[in-house]
Structure 1
Amino acid sequence: MLFSIPGLAVCAVVLIVAYYSRGMLIVGLLASLAFGATSAMTLTSVGGSTPLIYTLFAALLVTAVTARRHIWFELGSVLGSIRPIWILASLMAYAIVGSWLFPRFFAGQTVVFVQAKTRGGVVEAALAPVSGNISQTGYFILGGLTAIALCTLLLHSNRIDQIRRGFFLWCGLHAGMGLIDFVGKNSGAGDLLAPIRTASYQILTGAIEAGFVRINGAFSEASSFAGASLACLAFSYTYWRKTKSHLAQWLAGILLFLTILSTSSTAYVGLTILCIPVAISMTTSLLRGKVEREEILIIAIMALGTVAVLGISLYNAGALDPIIRLINSTIINKANSASGEERAYWNVKSLQSFLDTSGLGIGFGSSRASSWPIAVLSQLGLFGSLMMATLVAVLARGVGREREWLDPETDAVVLSVRNAALASIVAISLSAGSADPGMIFFIAFAVVCAAKVRARRSSIAFERTGHQLLAHAA
């Protein structure tokens, strides 16, 4: 095991900030998600894997919860009141067994894509056990344990304020480092965040798309930065609309700016998908005649932007050519590019591996795809995909009818966190190669499940109190 001094320094700073934010475990974990290319160590025993710093904070959270005095009682309460936890636990067990069994049982019977050992990039090979079976499964299991640990904390004490501070710190750090990267590259200063990119990923910080410098923030590539930006944008926008928070409003504006300038296909397609529910909501408000001030502001900004674009095109017909080339490169002609064809080939072969294994899957971490649902289907098989779909459905449904028993602040935080996770799922569905849904999914899953149980308990307590008052009056 080899340690990274810059990575350890970043961990120390995050711990200090989280401590003074009055939530070292939860706030620290969320803040660490902003560092998407920072590792504190290299695991030489697992193929030179460099886990990101969020894994250290997640392990710290799980360890701290496990060491609680009444952990078995609290864990029993979680298992007894949150039924989707059983599905999560079953999926974790299935992932462990499948990652060991399927690459050996179906060895050589299908084609997979793995990281080359001698040179960078992904190569096509026959199915066989690889280090990804250990590392990718480890990330997934850590995420599941983090969800269970968070459920334990949130179910037995009201820590929604720590969740709110943690998400705002994550969004603020992500936006801040995105601005630093943008200013550094466009001012000629270069990659100012290079010292904290300590993970052994393929770092693509100097890429240019259609004449525009790609924005990476603290991540290794523009696509990963765009995916995190979409999640942060969804949280900030939702919280702003629910609470009228000026901080959330400014964050949403900055994140939208960075998402557009990331020059990533994931950003543009994902942003288009996320705009659909926003457009539906605004249209409904217009039809009802109950347009809010925030909606008027959005419509005004869109109108001004449209007028500005038309004015520029009329004044100088060629001024928008760079933007048109960017749109053609990242969206219209993306499928016909070498990268687009390669990723499409990965997805086709991943679906073929699902068929080659009779729907059982090739095992967690055995291959790489270019879309999260396809990665889930090929690696976890039909049975594992159904369990994963159930967890996504639980997250998408949210608190449901019980939300009326939540106070306004808790309702705003839970809804914002859920939307951030759904935006993250949209992003990874466009470009992610692993079946792991990511830490933000597990955190949001825990927040939604715990909030729903607490709301249900509040409704039951209210009904009991009402019955007692009626009985006393009688």
Structure 2
Amino acid sequence: MQISFVGPLVCAGILLVGYYCRAPLIIGVIVSLAFGATALMTLSSLGGSSPLIYTFFAALLVTAVALRRQIWRDLGNVFGKIRAIWVLCSLMLYAIVGAWLFPRLFAGQISVFVQSPTRRGIVEASLAPVSGNITQTGYFVLGGLTTIALCVLLLHEDRIDAIRRGFFLWCGLHAGMGLLDLIGKHAGAGDILRPMRTASYAMLTEVTEGGFWRIAGAQSEASAFGGVSLVCLAFCYVYWRNTKSRLAQALSALLLVLLLLSTSSTAYVGLAILSIPVALSILHSFLSGRIEKGEILIIALLALAAVTALSIALYKEEFFAPFVHLIDSMVLNKASSASGQERLYWNIKSLQAFVDTSGLGVGIGSSRASSWPIAVASQLGLVGGLMMATLSFMVFRGMGSLKRYVDPETNTVVSSVRACALASVVSGSLAGGSSDPGMIFFIALAVISASRARARSERYAAKHDLPLGQPPFAARLLKAPEKLPPVGRATSTLEASRGA
């Protein structure tokens, strides 16, 4: 085991910021996601795995919640109010059992793609237990435990402000380090964030595509940076549309520019997919005659960009040649490239593994795919896939009809976090290699589930004309005291029997 010096230093800085914001653990888990290539240590016994710093904060959060004085009562409250936690625990148990059993049950019978233990890269090999079964399962279980721990904290006290601050700090750090990376490369300084990249991944940070520098920020490559930018953009955009926040508006604009300059095909395709509901929303507002200023601003900026591009093209026809070449190589012809063909073959082999195991799966961490849904099917099988689909539906549903029972700020934060999680699902569906949906998904599941549980309590209180925040059991006692056995009647009966 080799300890990294930069990793603990970054963790200390995040803890100081979280302590200043009066929520070091919640903010620490979220903000640490900005450092996607900074590891705490390298575990040589597990094939050189290097846990990123977010695992430290997640483990710290779970430990702190587990040491609470009334933890069993808090857990009973969570499991009693949030049905999604039962599905999550069942999925974690299935993932643990499957990661140990399936690679041994189908050993040597199936061909899969795995990380090479001797060199950096993905190789095709016969199914067998690998170190990824331990590490990937550990990350998955840690994410599930983080969901439970966050539900305990969010049900016990209203901490939605800490969630909001954490997400804005994460988006700001990610955008700031991306901007630094871009400026450093164009200034000739190269990869100025190299000291922060302590993970044992292959770092593709000083690469050009079509004459453009590929932005990596604090991530390991441009594709990862583009995926995170897409997720952060979803959060900031939804928050800006709901609150007209100048900070969210500025971050949205900066993240959009960085995303377009990232030269990431995942980011471009993901942006096109996420633009569909935005366009439909603007069209609905226009047809209903209730178009807002923000929507007018978006239409005006798009029109201005189109007119400007057309004017430049008429003045200097070859100006956009590098951009056209970039889009052509990174998006239009990506599937026919060597990398695209290789990733397509990964997905075909993963689907074949699902069929060859009769829908049981090969176990989490046993294979590598290039799409999150395909990875879920091949690793977790039909049973695990159904449970994952259930959790995904709960995230997709969001607050639903319960949003009227929470304050506007809570509803805005929950909607923004939900959009963030859905963007991460879109990004993972385009290039995700593991069945683990990622920490953002688990955080969003906790925020949405806990907010729905609190909203249900408020709905019950409003329905029965009780004080807001009153627990349902206590509410029933306050609403129908006549059903309780009167103390005086028992005493009178006892005295009457004695007299008789």
User: Structure 1 length normalisation: TM-score?
Assistant: 0.98
**Residues 336-355 of structure 1: pairs in structure 2 closer than 5 A:** 336-355=336-355
Residue 132 of structure 2: aligned partner? 132
- Tell me the residue number matched to 1:105: 105
What is the Cα deviation at residue 156 of structure 1? 1.0
Query: Is the partner of 1:352 in helix, strand or coil?
Result: helix
Q: Deviations over 1:310-368 (max 9, x none)?
A: 00100011110000000100111000100000000000000001111111000000010
Matches within 5 A, 1:200-219: 200-219=200-219
Give the Å deviation of 1:209: 1.2
User: Which stretch shifts more, 207-216 or 130-139?
Assistant: 207-216
Amino acid at match of 1:183: I
Task: Mark the CA change 1:46 to 1:328 in structure 2 (over 3 Å): closer, same or farther.
Answer: same
Take 1:435 and 1:133, find their aligned partners in 2: how far apart are those partners? 12
- 2:491 is matched with none
Q: Cα offset for 1:45?
A: 2.3
- Name the structure 2 match of 1:239: 239
* Residue pairs, 1:281-430, within 5 angstroms: 281-430=281-430
Q: Is the 8 A contact 2:62 2:145 kept in 1?
A: yes
Gap regions ≥5 residues in structure 2: 468-474, 481-500
Partner of residue 226, structure 1: 226
- 1:431 correspondence with 2:407: no
Distance 2:300 2:189 in 1: 36
Q: CA deviation at 1:31?
A: 0.6
How many equivalent residue pairs?
472
Provide the rounded CA distance (Å) in 2 between the counterparts of 1:180 and 1:450. 37
Larger Rg computed on CA atoms: 2
1:279 is matched with: 279
Structure 2 CA distance for aligned equivalents of residues 215 and 329 of structure 1 = 17
* Cα shift at 1:464: 1.8
SS at match of 2:119: coil
Task: Work out which structure has the larger RCO, using CA pairs closer than 8 Å and 6 or more positions apart in sequence.
Answer: 1
Determine helix, strand or coil for the equivalent of 2:317: coil
* Partner in structure 1 of residue 185 of structure 2: 185
Partner of 1:262: 262
Q: Distance in 2 between matches of 1:133 and 1:466?
A: 51
CA contact (8 A) 2:347 2:374 kept: yes
SS of structure 1 residue aligned to 2:123: strand
Amino acid at match of 1:131: S
Q: 1:92 — aligned with what?
A: 92
Q: CA deviation at 1:466?
A: 6.3
Match of 1:163 in 2: 163
Q: CA deviation at 1:116?
A: 1.1
Code of the residue aligned with 2:20 in structure 1: it is Y
Summarize deviations over 1:228-255 as a string: whole Å, max 9, x none.
1111000000000001100000000000
> What is the deviation of 1:220?
0.2
Q: CA-to-partner distance for each residue in 1:78-113, whole Å, 9 max, x for gaps?
A: 001100110000000000000000000000111111
Q: Which runs of 4+ in 1 moved over 3 A?
A: 466-471
8 Å Cα contact 2:464/2:479 also seen in 1: no
1:44 shift after superposition? 2.2
Q: Secondary structure at the match of 1:123?
A: strand
CA distance in 1, matches of 2:479, 2:380: 54
- Secondary structure in 2 matching 1:113: strand
Secondary structure of 2:204's aligned partner: coil
In 1, the alpha carbon distance for the partners of 2:52 and 2:59 equals 12
Offset at residue 118 of structure 1 (A) = 1.7
Q: What CA distance in whole angstroms lies between the structure 2 residues aligned with 1:446 and 1:466?
A: 27
* Deviation for aligned residue 1:370: 0.4
Post-superposition CA distance 1:265-307 (Å, at most 9, x none)? 1010000000000000000000011110011110010000000
Q: Deviations over 1:22-52 (max 9, x none)?
A: 1100011111000000001112222221000
The amino acid that maps onto 2:383 is F
Q: Distance in 2 between matches of 1:466 and 1:288?
A: 38
Matches of 1:220 and 1:286, distance apart in 2 = 42
1:143 aligns to what?
143
* CA distance in structure 1 between the partners assigned to 2:463 and 2:114 by the alignment: 57
Specify the alignment match of 1:18 in structure 2: 18
1:380, 1:410 → 2: CA distance?
34
Equivalent pairs: percent with the same residue? 64
Distance 1:2 1:320 in 2: 48
